[in-house]
Every structure is written in C-alpha cells, then in structure tokens.
Structure 1
C-alpha cells in the first residue's frame, strides 16, 4: 500500500473542462483509519470538499464544490493511489457527476517539496 495521504497537497496534471477543477486547483488531503477527506480550491473552484474511504490503494469518495459563477455541483470518484519514481503520490481517478450529466478520468499528483 502506498503511504498515507495525510498532510499531502496534490494538484491536477491537466485542466478539465472550463468551470471545473484544473491545474490551479490544490487539494489538501487528510487520512485517518481508512477515512479520507480534503478541502480544495483554485481556478474556477472557490471551495470544494471531498469525503470517503480508503481500502488499500483504492479511494472511494463523494465531492461537492462551489464555482466562481455561484453554481454548485457534486459527484462520485474512485481513485487508485500509486507512487511515482521520485516518491511522490499520484491518484488516477475515474469520476462522474451526480448533479449533472458527465464524467471522465483525471490524474492528480503530489506537489514537489
């Protein structure tokens, strides 16, 4: 199992569609006893929260966010935790909106120290 996410800051490696999470978004993760949560903001996202569970290298969580235009949205994500050659954490994510149509994949990585 990859190391704990507690205290790590991660960011997407590529922009998603306009008005969503992008390379300027920062996720501050916490982890305790198989539970994960994070606060995130940046780019088009004013404030976001995610909460869920970790089982080995699999994360399963729900997220909700407030965007710059005042709209809110929510969804579900399953991620696989891997470790990069330099020791940083990478999450390979498959997500789907629950408050609107759509879904996709994304990658977020721990920011270098």
Structure 2
C-alpha cells in the first residue's frame, strides 16, 4: 500500500452542484489494514460517516449523513488516491446518491 489515511483530515477543493459537501465540511479518516472509515461534518452536514475498503490505489466506500433539514442521505463512492511529493493526499471521487434522485457527481478532496 502506497498510502495510509489513518488520522488524516481532508476538505473540499471542488464538487458537483448536486453534492452537499462544501468547503466547510471536514473529513477525519481512519485506516486499519484494508479498511477505512471517516467522520465528517460542516456546512449543511450535521453528521456523516463513511465505511469502506482500500483497493490497489483507490478507495471504495458507502456514506451516509444527516443534513440541517434532518434528511438522512446515503451514497456510494470510488476514489482515486494521489500522493504528492510532500506525502500529502488528494482524493479524486466519483459518487452516486443511493437515495433521492440517485444522481451522480464528482468531487476532489485535499489533505489539510
């Protein structure tokens, strides 16, 4: 494995218009062997969780969160992991809502 997400924090760099994550949302990741999980909140998101697995150079996970309208939203995501020369990580994400309009989008998260 070329990366470890344990105890790393991320924020949004860009997102599709149908996403709820904003530049106020902070993701706190954890990793144990091939399993990842994270807590996230900020902006319209009150509390969120994700759980998934590490593949060769990517992540695959499901997520759920509650927004400030008390809506429970769920989705799935595949992320390509990029590590720069300073060992900072960027996540290039392709996600799909598994509720609501079932639309898809993309986002980029950067390590803070």
TM-score (norm 2): 0.92
Q: CA deviation at 1:86?
A: 3.3
> How many matched pairs?
111
CA RMSD, 1 decimal: 1.5
Aligned partners of 1:44, 1:19: CA distance in 2, in Å? 11
TM-score (norm 1): 0.91
Q: Is the 8 A contact 1:29 1:39 kept in 2?
A: yes
Q: Is the 8 A contact 2:53 2:61 kept in 1?
A: yes
Q: Is the 8 A contact 2:15 2:105 kept in 1?
A: no
SS in structure 2 opposite 1:23? coil
- 1:28 aligns to 2:28 (yes or no): yes
Q: CA deviation at 1:100?
A: 1.8
Gaps of 5+ in 2: none
- 1:40 aligns to 2:40 (yes or no): yes
Aligned match of 1:50: 50
Q: CA deviation at 1:19?
A: 7.1
